[in-house]
Amino acid sequence: MRSDPADYALVAPRNLQDAVALLSREPGAWLPIAGGTDVMVLYGAGKLAARKLVSIRHLRELRNIEEFPEQIIVGAGCTYTDLRRHATITHEFPMLASAASWTGGIANQNRGTLGGNIANASPAADSLPALLAYDAEMLLISVRGERRIAYGNFHLGYKKTAMAGDELIRAISLPRKFSGYFSFARKVGARKAQAIAKVSIAGLGRMTNGAIDDVRIALGSVAPIPLRLKKLEAALIGRNPQFLAPGDLGSLVTAEIQPIADIRSTEEYRATVAANLVAEFLRRLGEGADSA
């Protein structure tokens, strides 16, 4: 059964200042909508709870990609197509560009936004592991001003974030510090395109004198939130990945994840695939493969 339009209110503020002022008057009452690729699916299925919607798609303040010597600032309203086509993103942050190319079809990529992908807080969202691996920071805005929060601290639980009811995601900051790193991004789904991830990975690594000098491994769809495997990362520093025993590696991976069984996969499948993806990343890192 489809939703009844009469159950919803929709406003389109003139600018970002008006949008955050609206949120401040009734914190938590308004649901921001940009591309609407997730919201409208729920609406069409009759599963979107009746509430007030505030359109932010037209706000130019959210659509910029700014380049600075030490960081790239990506506006929350930038679409997946914007990310795929931006030369600096594709060159310096290829895992994020790859994730943008995996998300739905071309129509969804033209409408769906990076900020929406983050705020929707699905552990299967394509962009989230890349943001974790790249040490992204969130720039949140309200009438109280702007605050920064490490992306690794943004997701608190399934569909739960550190964003207050009167805040919007203004932008995402990406530090320009990964030159020379090997990158590896993969998504495992039921088919190659337009599929929700069963498991996804974003890995960054750097080798020095045959040993791992720095490594970042992030997984999606294996826990209530996207995960950095920090215990595994710490165990890998100073080691040559080619000499890791598969069994030991698999145990380290499964010790940090919390896969579930659902309509798309079993718990055992997700655990096995996650371990295999990490093993492939480390194998290629050890072989000195070109960046993905």
Tokens standing for 202?
């974003």
Q: 3-state DSSP call for residue 210?
A: coil
Q: Report pLDDT digits (tens) over 44-100.
A: 778 777 689 999 999 999 999 999 999 999 999 999 999 999 999 999 999 999 999
- 134 near 93, Cβ under 8 Å? yes
Please tell me whether residues 76 and 136 are part of one structural domain: yes
* CATH at 10: 3.30.43
Domain extent, residue 120, equals: 60-175
Please tell me whether residues 192 and 163 are part of one structural domain: no
Residue-level pLDDT at 244: 79
Nearest by Cα to 204 from 213, 196, 195 = 213
Residue-level pLDDT at 288: 77
Q: Report pLDDT digits (tens) over 237-282.
A: 999 987 777 778 889 999 999 887 777 778 899 999 999 999 999 9
**Is the residue at 194 inside a domain?**
yes
Please tell me whether residues 70 and 47 are part of one structural domain: no
Q: Report pLDDT digits (tens) over 9-58.
A: 899 999 999 999 999 999 989 999 998 888 877 777 787 776 899 999 99
Q: Report pLDDT digits (tens) over 189-245.
A: 766 656 677 899 999 999 999 999 999 999 999 999 999 999 999 999 999 987 777
116 or 2: which leads in pLDDT:
116
- How many helices (DSSP H) and strands (DSSP E) are in the chain? 11, 14
Give the residue-averaged pLDDT of 149-156: 97
Burial 249-284 (b: 16+ CB within 10 A, else e): bbebbbebbebeeeebbeeeebbbbbbbbbbebbeb
Say how far residue 149 (Cα) sits from the centre of its chain.
15
Say how far residue 144 (Cα) sits from the centre of its chain.
26
**Containing H/E element for 76?**
none
> Last residue of some domain: 55, 71, 93?
55
Please tell me whether residues 98 and 166 are part of one structural domain: yes
Please tell me whether residues 29 and 130 are part of one structural domain: no
Above 60 in pLDDT, residue 290?
no
Q: Is the dihedral of CA 284, 289, 291, 292 positive or negative?
A: negative
Sequence-separated (6 or more) residues with CB below 8 Å from residue 197: 102, 124, 126, 187, 188, 189, 220, 221
Please tell me whether residues 163 and 127 are part of one structural domain: yes
Give the residue-averaged pLDDT of 91-112: 91
Residue-level pLDDT at 90: 97
CA 198/CA 264 separation, integer angstroms: 7
Mean pLDDT, rounded, of the chain: 91
**Is the residue at 149 inside a domain?**
yes
Tokens standing for 264?
């798309």
**Residues across the chain:** 292
- 139 near 73, Cβ under 8 Å? yes
Number of domains in the chain: 3
Per cent of the chain over pLDDT 70 is 95
* CATH at 142: 3.30.465.10
Residue-level pLDDT at 181: 97
* CATH at 187: 3.30.390.50
- 54 near 13, Cβ under 8 Å? yes
- 154 near 161, Cβ under 8 Å? yes
Please tell me whether residues 78 and 104 are part of one structural domain: yes
**Is the residue at 292 inside a domain?**
no
Please tell me whether residues 107 and 205 are part of one structural domain: no
Tally of CA atoms within 13 A in the half-sphere of 288 that contains its CB? 4
Nearest by Cα to 40 from 93, 9, 75, 3 = 3
Please tell me whether residues 27 and 127 are part of one structural domain: no
Nearest by Cα to 147 from 167, 131, 128, 127 = 167
Please tell me whether residues 71 and 171 are part of one structural domain: yes
**pTM for the whole thing?**
0.92
Please tell me whether residues 163 and 64 are part of one structural domain: yes
Residue-level pLDDT at 292: 42
